[in-house]
């Protein structure tokens, strides 16, 4: 397989003004007839270029006609899945009849079946698996879709836009016609047909238009869509108030499907969701999932403007819509709940997973320069780092100018397919702020390292910060240029009071420094003594910051910083420092011993009733195995696990009484509510329980079992179960079995059970995971189940990183099995294997040999790209 390059972009030689599609749906074969109203693109220049339409190996061409003249076989050819027609007029109607078999579509791209329904997934290049088309985002067309099906089996037939006609064929089949007046690329096309139940609602826009809202699911799930519906209405209101964006069609529909490769899809007027990201009820859904449902409903809705009305010119620009929309959904969630808690969660995820990606063989810029398979570039870099770029623009411009920039962007480019440069230009034009150096964030991969040194001049009361920036080499980018990095800074005195200091003639307690050179100095005046700096407040840039904080400084920041994010950050740094010592002891085979400073810090927190319990819970959570692995080089997985366990146990024993008290104090009486307040209490209560149980107190063990048995909500029940499993409670196996018995009819709960079962730390972890893949609850066709079992297994240090390499071998087997069946899922499963270079030597060679074994197979483009780049 070969790569395609951003530098080779050319406008399309043809345009499609109107697309008329007819789907004759049937269990065995589906016939798709397309009528494409095409013309040569004046922007391409005068040309006689042939018409080349994208298709797929699973699309059988029945016939093709131009202006109703059926083309004989010598006037067209099919080569490498493309339909090539050499001679065309300047303007014509092309008719294609194709046959597809959705029931055999295991890739879940294009039109496929999930349970008893038909559904589509066209982003990025799924439409070409439906019919021949110019399947690229800069070809925007007005779609009319006719669906013909047996109404008994498919009473609900949906597509984009508005339903404009309904009737019957001579054979008694039902015909429904949908028309979407907004031109769109094929990746936003959608079709759903099935026997579905619906929840209806109405949203009145700011201009007083009534929008019909509908959520469709299988009938037995209809009681789980209320939360998503409320989240949708909150999102619609928020986008009006925050960005001035109103919904445009008269109807907005969401459909839940069980088999879906990703979380959800923003098809115009007809969002399709993985049911795991839409359905929610107190008994079956944890707090985390409630928040996830809200965020994803918002994300897909926000795409209506950032993605649909203004779309991407080409797939290299993916972050134009994804980075911006993630920023929008993160801000929305922050506004709905707690800004600091949300920021901590997002940054923690970024620093764990995106930083690891940016340091690995698949590292790429937010706007990649090339790819083999675009599906591999729906990455944390494009989404999460892309969002950080937009957030930095917000920091640099301030809220008002940022809004002016987004208004200009939407006005200027409504109905167009544009680039990241267009986005920056709108921000720059509306604000007058020079973003020319800042733009490098889009093209330069890797996580910048910012080293900070300081000095204080007592004679003048001047405090000097010296900052050095450096971005490490990444594949294909050996050298890097300095970036424009906004570093938000505050200063504290010895007692933890916020200090006002003068920088460039401006006195303030909080400054945004513009770090633009590889080395730069910033001078603060008006200080009586050397302050403690609070650096990178709110994580103002996605960088790795190095400053030599003493434990005393970190404890001061933890207890006193006015920036909530940096209080958390200080606690993490303290824990990382202590864990690093313990990890090194474990690597050297020494007995672990360390007198933790965190005991004092945690004690203060556990006894301070003025604090937000959610923040306390976040601070109490030790840095994860995954985050510590990202920081380590080489990674010793078992040593990290041992160190974490040791520290947790030490803290638990030292603060046992505090944890018990906090556990009891934060129990909520009454009905479950997914509010920020209740979620906060539950999170603190459950983390306190996880520590208390570590002390092996008989009472704690009993409380845990009681919570499991009596909880009125899934958050508490599943927390108790997870704690039992992770602490190797003597009743863990019994509780796991009871949980399955209780929930075996609820597939989404069973997925949680599969994941927890697969992640167990036990000698026979591999046998367990193999057993789970044979379990009646498992289904290789369902991506959620595959992710649960194999994703869970990846978390089991004893299982996945077993010294004999059997864990890696097993994962490689599954990748090979899924490679052809579902390339997107197979490719995503490769991620843990891409870290082989950083692993401890004995494990590294074993992992590498599994990559080589996979590469010897006949691979899909998706898997080939990840494996070959990992070995390069
Ligand atoms: N824009 C959507 C991306 C997506 C996707 C991409 C590749 C393969 C399958 C997919 N399903 C959805 C989701 C989003 O970011 O909103
Ligand atoms: Zn998105």
At residue 87, the pLDDT reads: 84
CA dihedral (798, 801, 803, 804) positive or negative = positive
Q: Which of 262, 268, 273, 325 to mutate to test the pocket of ligand 1 (most atoms within 8 A of CB)?
A: 262
Q: Which of 160, 164, 149 is nearest to 113 (CA)?
A: 149
430 located within any domain: yes
What is the atom index within ligand 1 of the atom nearest the CA of 260?
11
At residue 154, the pLDDT reads: 98
Measure 637 CA to ligand 2 centroid, in angstroms. 33
Ligand 1 pocket, residue 822 CB under 6 Å: no
- The dihedral region occupied by 868, where left means phi > 0, alpha psi between -120 and 50, and beta the remainder, is alpha
232 located within any domain: no
Ligand 1 pocket, residue 378 CB under 6 Å: yes
pLDDT above 90 (res 402): yes
Measure 713 CA to ligand 1 centroid, in angstroms. 31
Torsion, Cα of 329, 330, 334, 336 (10° steps):
20
Ligand 1 pocket, residue 321 CB under 6 Å: no
pLDDT in tens, 100-147: 999 999 999 999 999 999 999 999 999 999 999 999 999 999 999 999
Distances (CA, A) of 830 to 342, 376, 813, 850, 856: 29, 11, 11, 11, 15
The whole model's pTM is what?
Answer: 0.99
Ligand 1 pocket, residue 262 CB under 6 Å: yes
**Mean pLDDT along residues 671-683:** 97
Q: Which residues pair with 4 in a beta bridge?
A: 371
Active site residue 300: yes
617 located within any domain: no
HSE at residue 164, side-chain half, CA atoms within 13 A, is: 13
What is the atom index within ligand 1 of the atom nearest the CA of 375?
7
Q: Whose CA is nearest to atom 1 of ligand 1?
A: 265
pLDDT in tens, 416-473: 999 999 999 999 999 999 999 999 999 999 999 999 999 999 999 999 999 999 999 9
**Mean pLDDT along residues 374-393:** 99
Ligand 1 pocket, residue 121 CB under 6 Å: yes
CA of 822, nearest ligand number? 1
Residue 820 host element (H or E): helix 806-821
115 located within any domain: yes
Ligand 1 pocket, residue 266 CB under 6 Å: yes
Tell me if 317 sits within 8 A of 367, measured CB to CB.
yes
Ligand 1 pocket, residue 299 CB under 6 Å: yes
Residue 626 host element (H or E): helix 625-631
Exactly one of 123, 266, 294, 300 is catalytic; which is it? 300
Whether 23 and 155 map to the same domain: the answer is yes
Ligand 1 pocket, residue 772 CB under 6 Å: no
Distances (CA, A) of 729 to 79, 679, 701, 723: 61, 25, 8, 8
Measure 379 CA to ligand 1 centroid, in angstroms. 10
139 located within any domain: yes
Measure 265 CA to ligand 1 centroid, in angstroms. 5
Measure 343 CA to ligand 1 centroid, in angstroms. 23
Measure 664 CA to ligand 1 centroid, in angstroms. 42
Q: Whose CA is nearest to atom 11 of ligand 1?
A: 262
Three-state DSSP at 589 gives coil
At residue 826, the pLDDT reads: 98
Give percent above pLDDT 90 in the chain: 100
pLDDT in tens, 538-588: 999 999 999 999 999 999 999 999 999 999 999 999 999 999 999 999 999
CATH number of the domain that residue 77 is part of: 2.60.40.1730
Geometric angle at alpha carbon 322, from 316 and 323, rounded to 5°:
95
Ligand 1 pocket, residue 714 CB under 6 Å: no
724 located within any domain: no
Q: Rounded to whole angstroms, how far apart are CA atoms 444 and 374?
A: 19
Q: How many domains does the chain have?
A: 2
Q: Which of 265, 278, 319, 787 to mutate to test the pocket of ligand 1 (most atoms within 8 A of CB)?
A: 265
**Among 160, 195, 230, residue at a domain's last position:** 195
What is the atom index within ligand 1 of the atom nearest the CA of 383?
15
183 located within any domain: yes
Ligand 1 pocket, residue 375 CB under 6 Å: yes
Ligand 1 pocket, residue 329 CB under 6 Å: no
**Among 135, 161, 195, residue at a domain's last position:** 195
What is the atom index within ligand 1 of the atom nearest the CA of 262?
11
CA of 373, nearest ligand number? 1
What is the atom index within ligand 1 of the atom nearest the CA of 322?
15
CATH number of the domain that residue 479 is part of: 2.60.40.1840
**Among 496, 531, 546, residue at a domain's last position:** 546
Q: Which of 264, 293, 301, 787 to mutate to test the pocket of ligand 1 (most atoms within 8 A of CB)?
A: 264
Ligand 1 pocket, residue 298 CB under 6 Å: no
Q: Phi and psi of 418, rounded to 5°?
A: -130, -170
At residue 196, the pLDDT reads: 98
Measure 259 CA to ligand 1 centroid, in angstroms. 14
Measure 738 CA to ligand 2 centroid, in angstroms. 38
40 located within any domain: yes
Measure 703 CA to ligand 1 centroid, in angstroms. 42
370: containing domain:
318-546
Three-state DSSP at 695 gives coil
- Mean pLDDT of the chain, nearest integer: 98
């Amino acid at each position: 397989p070969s790569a395609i390059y951003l530098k080779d972009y050319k406008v399309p030689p043809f345009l499609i003004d109107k697309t008329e599609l007819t789907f004759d749906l049937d269990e065995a074969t589906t016939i798709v007839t397309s009528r494409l109203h095409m013309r040569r693109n004046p922007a391409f220049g005068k040309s006689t270029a042939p018409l080349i339409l994208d298709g797929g190996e699973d699309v059988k061409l029945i016939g093709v006609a131009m202006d109703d003249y059926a083309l004989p076989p010598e006037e067209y050819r099919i080569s490498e899945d493309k339909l090539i027609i050499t001679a065309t007029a300047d303007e014509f109607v092309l008719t294609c009849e194709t046959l597809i078999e959705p029931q055999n579509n295991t890739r879940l791209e294009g039109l496929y079946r999930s349970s008893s329904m038909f559904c589509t997934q066209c982003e990025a290049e799924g439409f070409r698996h439906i019919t021949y088309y110019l399947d690229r985002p800069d070809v925007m067309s007005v779609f009319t879709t006719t669906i013909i099906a047996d109404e008994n089996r498919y009473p609900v037939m949906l597509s984009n836009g508005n339903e404009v006609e309904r009737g019957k064929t001579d054979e008694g089949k039902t015909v429904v016609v949908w028309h979407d007046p907004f031109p769109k690329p094929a990746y936003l096309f959608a079709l759903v047909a099935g026997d579905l139940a619906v929840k209806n609602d109405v949203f009145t826009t700011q201009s007083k238009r009534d929008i019909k809202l509908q959520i469709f699911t299988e009938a037995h799930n209809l009681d789980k869509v209320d939360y998503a519906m409320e989240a949708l209405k909150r999102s619609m209101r928020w986008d009006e108030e925050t960005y001035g964006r109103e919904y445009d069609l008269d109807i907005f529909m969401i459909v839940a499907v069980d088999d879906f490769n990703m979380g959800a899809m923003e098809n115009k007027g007809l969002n399709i969701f993985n049911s795991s990201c839409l359905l929610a009820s107190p008994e079956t859904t944890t707090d985390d999932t409630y928040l996830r449902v809200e965020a994803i409903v918002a994300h897909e809705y926000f795409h209506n403007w950032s993605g649909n009305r203004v779309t991407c010119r080409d797939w290299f620009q993916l972050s134009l819509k994804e980075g911006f929309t993630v920023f929008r959904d993160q801000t929305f969630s922050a506004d709905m709940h707690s800004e600091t808690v949300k920021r901590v969660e997002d940054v923690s995820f970024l620093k764990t997973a995106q930083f690891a990606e940016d340091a690995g063989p698949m590292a790429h810029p937010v706007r990649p320069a090339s790819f083999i398979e675009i599906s591999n570039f729906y990455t944390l870099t494009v989404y999460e780092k892309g969002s950080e770029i937009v957030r930095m623009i917000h920091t640099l411009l301030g809220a008002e100018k940022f809004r002016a920039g987004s208004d200009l962007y939407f006005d200027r480019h409504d109905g167009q397919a544009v680039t990241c440069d267009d986005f920056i230009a709108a921000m720059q034009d509306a604000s007058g702020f020079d973003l020319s150096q800042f733009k490098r964030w889009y093209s330069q991969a890797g996580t910048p390292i910012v080293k900070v040194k300081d000095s204080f001049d007592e004679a003048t009361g001047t405090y000097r910060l010296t900052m050095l920036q450096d971005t490490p080499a990444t594949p294909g980018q050996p050298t890097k240029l300095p970036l424009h990095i906004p570093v938000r800074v505050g200063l504290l005195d010895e007692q933890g009071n916020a200090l006002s200091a003068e920088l460039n003639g401006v006195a303030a307690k909080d400054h945004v420094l513009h770090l633009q050179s590889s080395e730069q100095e910033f001078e603060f005046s008006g200080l009586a003594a050397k302050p403690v700096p609070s650096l990178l407040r709110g994580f103002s840039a996605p960088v790795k910051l190095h400053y030599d904080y003493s434990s005393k400084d970190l404890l001061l920041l933890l207890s006193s910083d006015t920036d909530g994010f940096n209080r958390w950050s200080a606690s993490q740094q303290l824990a990382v420092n202590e864990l690093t010592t313990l990890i090194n002891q474990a690597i050297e085979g020494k007995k672990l011993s360390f007198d933790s400073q965190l005991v004092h810090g945690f004690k203060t927190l556990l006894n301070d009733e003025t604090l937000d319990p959610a923040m306390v819970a976040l601070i109490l959570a030790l840095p994860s195995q995954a985050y510590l692995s990202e920081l380590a080089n080489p990674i010793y997985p078992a040593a990290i696990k041992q160190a974490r366990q040791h520290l947790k146990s030490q803290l638990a024993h030292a603060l046992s009484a505090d944890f018990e008290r906090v556990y009891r104090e934060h129990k909520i009486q009454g009905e479950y509510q997914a509010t920020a307040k209740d979620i906060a209490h539950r999170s603190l209560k459950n983390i306190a329980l996880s520590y208390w149980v570590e002390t092996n107190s008989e009472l704690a063990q009993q409380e845990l079992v009681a919570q499991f048995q009596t909880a009125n909500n899934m958050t508490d029940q599943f927390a108790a179960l997870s704690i039992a499993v992770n602490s190797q409670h003597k009743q863990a196996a019994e509780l796991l079995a009871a949980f399955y018995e209780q929930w075996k009819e609820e597939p989404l709960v069973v997925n949680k059970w599969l994941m927890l079962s697969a992640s167990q730390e036990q000698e026979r972890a591999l046998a367990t995971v193999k057993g789970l893949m044979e379990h009646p609850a498992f289904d290789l066709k369902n991506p959620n189940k595959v992710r649960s079992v194999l994703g869970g297994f990846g978390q089991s240090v004893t299982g996945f990183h077993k010294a004999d390499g059997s864990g890696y071998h097993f994962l490689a087997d599954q990748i090979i099995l899924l490679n052809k069946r579902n390339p997107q899922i197979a490719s995503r499963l490769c991620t843990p294997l891409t870290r082989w270079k950083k692993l401890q030597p004995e494990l590294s060679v074993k992992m590498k040999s599994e990559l080589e074994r996979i590469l010897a197979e006949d691979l899909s483009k998706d898997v080939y790209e990840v494996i070959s780049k990992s070995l390069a």
